[in-house]
Structure 1
Amino acid sequence: MTDADAVIVGTGPNGLAAGVTLARAGLRVELYEAAGTIGGGLRTQALFDAEVVHDVCSAVHPLAAVSPFFREFDLAARGVDLLTPEVSYAHPLDGGRAALAHRDLDATCAGLGQDARRWRRLMAPLMRHGQGLVDLLLSGARRPPRDPAAALLLARHLPVHGTRLGAARFRGEEARALLGGLAAHALGKLPSLPGGAIALLLGHLAHSSGWPLPRGGSARIADALAADIVAHGGTFHTSRPVTDLRELTGPGAPVRARAVLLDVSPKGLLALAGDRLPPRYARRLARFRYGPAAAKVDFLVSEPIPWAHREVGRAGTVHLGGTYAETVRQETLTARGVPGAEPFVLLVDPAATDPGRGLPGKRPVWAYAHVPHGDPTDPVRLVRARIERHAPGFTDTVLAERGVPAAEMERHNPNYVGGDIASGAMTLRQSLLRPVPRLDPYRTPLPGIYLCSASTPPGPSVHGMSGHLAALSALRREFGIRRAPSLAPRAG
């Protein structure tokens, strides 16, 4: 029998953030991962060529640069170099046109013509209260805002930009397309209040801290988190799936812990707990809604993507959604389960920002296509066609390609139920009350059992806050530790 103060099941970004927080508080922490490598959505692998690595899940990390957890953890001090492109994101349009969101707000406005003043009027106040806005949206909505002005800005803009009124304020197609591409990160029908909140959050970050990529790939973030856990006495067990909570708690368990934190989906919690959960809580978990899916495509190409608008090649992220109206229509159909021939696609050419990711004649390309939940379609042809629409000749540069249909994403990562990489539909209710309405959304009715995945507030993306907040809850309730531990790097 092994005794640990705390056990974490799942080593995605939230499981790792929970591990850092608990280990920093002086607890003996053990982490269990079913896969052969840690990281969950932060894995980087060589897929086609031993010298060229691809990000298996997430690739670009605007919130890793600004979330309260990572601000204190300080990735830069730990050797993680977040590279920030001059063009945060681009949105190609037909006819060789494109809207470009530069990190420099002035440069962005210069390309928006008649909408320049309106874009500045929207983004500049958000940038002035950027930290307050980030902290508000990533707090789990469980504490008063530190910056009331940020809350007022959100209250002012959300009813507009969560509806069609937001796009109607702009006259040109370029500015409207930029907004539509931002809102599409909500993975749901548009327009919507969650889509508006995400557009305001990601939109202002594009002009302040930017949308960075970690040099060498997303796994560098996971490696830094894991190194800190090990340095504070934590232990990892890979290729060790946990299938029943009885393995971790109770008399005779192979591993016995006072607290168990689960970086799993509600579906995963139901499977692990079996009939131990109170029926009412179990029914609520079973009603948790999963949203539209992402289907993944990786390419190995021989040269940079031949965009019709050459400046698109400078962008860290590219949104392939067409006009605002096309983006809204397709995202809404996708949310209703209707497949389309032209899905919204997020694309990253990592070597455009991190030249070390490519070699002469070989470079990776990363893409997610938004598709209906559980869609079995191989996405390669759809994504290639979306790229070709704005980069004629792209197919001729492809050396190798791989598609992962939405229906197979859950096999790769059990938290992606039906291919839902947001770990739950981003409806207004589920944006605030994940996974069920509770004062402490991380604590389950089972003694010492906590949920710390993206299915809890504040939701998806690599920010570490779901894991960090769950760990703070466990520290208070199970160990009587009310003061949050320091996450800062060791001096010297």
Structure 2
Amino acid sequence: MSDGVVVVGSGPNGLAAAVTFARAGVPVTVLEEQGTAGGGARTLDLGLAPGVVHDICSAVHPMAAASPFFRGLDLASLGVELLTPDVSYAQPLPGGRAGIAHRSLSATVACLGADGPAWERLLGELARRWDRLVELGLGDLQRVPGDVHPRDLPLLTRLALGVLEQGTPAWGARFRGDVAPALLSGVATHAIAPLPSVPAAAVALVLAALAHSPGGWAVPRGGSGALTEALIRDLERHGGTLVTGHPVRTRADLPPARAYVFATPPGVVAQVLGDELPARVRRRLMGFRHGNAAAKVDLVLSGPIPWTVPDVGRAGTVHVGGTRAETATAERDVAAGRHAARPVCLVSDPAVSDPGREVGGLRPLWAYAHVPAGSDVDVTEAVIRQIERFAPGFRDVVVAARCVPAARMSGHNAALVDGDILGGALTIPRLLSGPARYRDPYATGAPNVLLCSSSTPPGPGVHGLGGLYAARRVLRLLGADAG
């Protein structure tokens, strides 16, 4: 048996685990099924226009700027430049109106008029203490509440009360107008869950707070692939190895190692290890509940989107869903297995923050539309119609487009089962106990085999923390074995 560790999957969590091993002096090999590494953090030329590259899955990275893992790596020293737009996100509304979330909390409060003070009361403390919010909210669940200090109680109380308010029918009590509620609901749609709901509210408050943090909702210069390239450079600099084009479907596909870390869907672990797992655990992993889905639309534009409200065009991310009521209706349709007449669309024009993404007058546009899991529908026209509602003439700047329906998303990333981009339905049990429902949420029931994908705490996002936490556990195991 090798003295090293094998990591299966080269998404952000898998590479984070591998970098952690390599920096600790442990031999590590990463096995990746695809021909290119990165999973949800890749930037590729899709052939839609010469020189124009697209982010394959994620495009905007609030978590990368805030993640203790990435902050510990010092991304700048690895050649990554995170660009932070002055407007983190926007929500266009009918009637030529829009909600604008500036990176500056005070500027956002001023724009929201009568609802500005309510926005400040909801998010101000969370935004000011964003670093502690991340430490507590994105931890590995093994040390809390032991690490909670008395000075954290106001922060945690504010978060808990905010989640209970915005995650229940009481969500309409805080605001007087319709702009602030719509603006917050747009962020909540990152959970791809019915609104209101507790998981969606938690996602909304954390991401909205990070939008007002120094790092904001960052975009890596050159695309998300810059993060992957940096991790690979660091891995190889410390002696680690990456092997692409190496699928792992059976035990025979795994080389000998002292430990294995899977940055994959839970079902892959059950498929590969089979009878090595306790029967009840195998059933749990195979029956892991995946969530609702997104279909991806990549477009090439001949110019900026002609938003009716020009400030929307300054945003790194635009949530296209209309009012809070319209957004909630669309998300309920998806949860019920129906295609919404006006689907929620997440849209990002990376050239807003990174002008170098425009080549020869053409620029990429990244878009997701929320759809039922496993949908095989091409949503290109639905996305164009939704954007046109708030940007008349948008169709005229579309030069090329392609759709990857939810049913085909796993073709370029096996983790996106039926278009589930979140690694499973966001439920409290999943976030507390992990797929196998052990006290250790990274455990699989097999000795020296751990799971570190976004199906484990702290959940989805390009933050690398699942990989970091799983790797630390393996290092402790190896240290005990060695000693």
- Would the TM-score normalized by the shorter structure come out above 0.5? yes
Over 6 Å off, 4+ runs: none
Equivalent residue for 1:199?
204
Equivalent residue for 2:29?
30
Equivalent residue for 2:429?
429
Equivalent residue for 1:340?
340
Give the conservation status (yes or no) of the 8 Å contact 2:274–2:282: no
> Which among 210, 222, 226 is matched to residue 216 of structure 2?
210
Give how far 1:434 is off.
2.1
> Which among 244, 248, 273 is matched to residue 238 of structure 1?
244
Per-residue CA deviation, residues 367-416 of structure 1 (Å, 9 max, x unaligned), is: 00111010110010111111111111111111110000000011221111
Unaligned runs of 5+ in 2: none
Per-residue CA deviation, residues 398-448 of structure 1 (Å, 9 max, x unaligned), is: 111000000001122111111000010012222322213212121222122
Unaligned runs of 5+ in 1: 249-254, 483-492
State the one-letter code of the partner of 1:241.
Answer: P
Per-residue CA deviation, residues 154-212 of structure 1 (Å, 9 max, x unaligned), is: 22322112113233210111100011111111111111111111111011111112100
Give the conservation status (yes or no) of the 8 Å contact 2:262–2:450: yes
Equivalent residue for 1:15?
14
The alignment status of 1:443 with 2:443, answered yes or no, reads yes
Equivalent residue for 2:65?
65
Give RMSD over aligned pairs.
Answer: 1.5
State the one-letter code of the partner of 2:247.
Answer: P
The range that moved more, 131-140 or 210-219, is: 131-140
Give how far 1:4 is off.
4.9
CA distance in 2, matches of 1:146, 1:224: 33
Say which SS state the counterpart of residue 181 (structure 1) adopts: helix
Count of paired positions? 475
CA distance in 1, matches of 2:463, 2:289: 22
CA distance in 2, matches of 1:4, 1:461: 31
CA distance in 2, matches of 1:163, 1:280: 34
Give the conservation status (yes or no) of the 8 Å contact 2:190–2:200: yes
State the one-letter code of the partner of 2:197.
Answer: S
Give how far 1:27 is off.
0.4
Give the conservation status (yes or no) of the 8 Å contact 2:433–2:439: no
TM-score w.r.t. structure 2 length? 0.96
Give how far 1:481 is off.
9.0
The alignment status of 1:82 with 2:82, answered yes or no, reads yes
Decide whether aligned partners of structure 1 residues 361 and 481 sit closer, same or farther in structure 2, where only a CA change above 3 A counts.
farther
> Which among 168, 172, 175 is matched to residue 163 of structure 1?
168
Say which SS state the counterpart of residue 280 (structure 2) adopts: helix
Equivalent residue for 2:311?
311
Equivalent residue for 2:41?
42
TM-score w.r.t. structure 1 length? 0.94
Structure 1 segment 274-313 matched on structure 2, within 5 A: 274-313=274-313
Give how far 1:112 is off.
0.8
Q: Percent identical across equivalent pairs? A: 51
The range that moved more, 467-476 or 71-80, is: 71-80
Give the conservation status (yes or no) of the 8 Å contact 2:93–2:390: yes
Say which SS state the counterpart of residue 64 (structure 1) adopts: helix
Decide whether aligned partners of structure 1 residues 320 and 273 sit closer, same or farther in structure 2, where only a CA change above 3 A counts.
same
Give how far 1:272 is off.
1.3
Give how far 1:360 is off.
3.8
State the one-letter code of the partner of 1:68.
Answer: P
Equivalent residue for 1:225?
231
CA distance in 1, matches of 2:202, 2:141: 13
The alignment status of 1:99 with 2:110, answered yes or no, reads no
The alignment status of 1:395 with 2:391, answered yes or no, reads no
CA distance in 2, matches of 1:141, 1:157: 21
CA distance in 2, matches of 1:387, 1:120: 29
Give the conservation status (yes or no) of the 8 Å contact 2:290–2:420: yes
Say which SS state the counterpart of residue 58 (structure 1) adopts: coil
The range that moved more, 370-379 or 146-155, is: 146-155
CA distance in 2, matches of 1:125, 1:222: 33
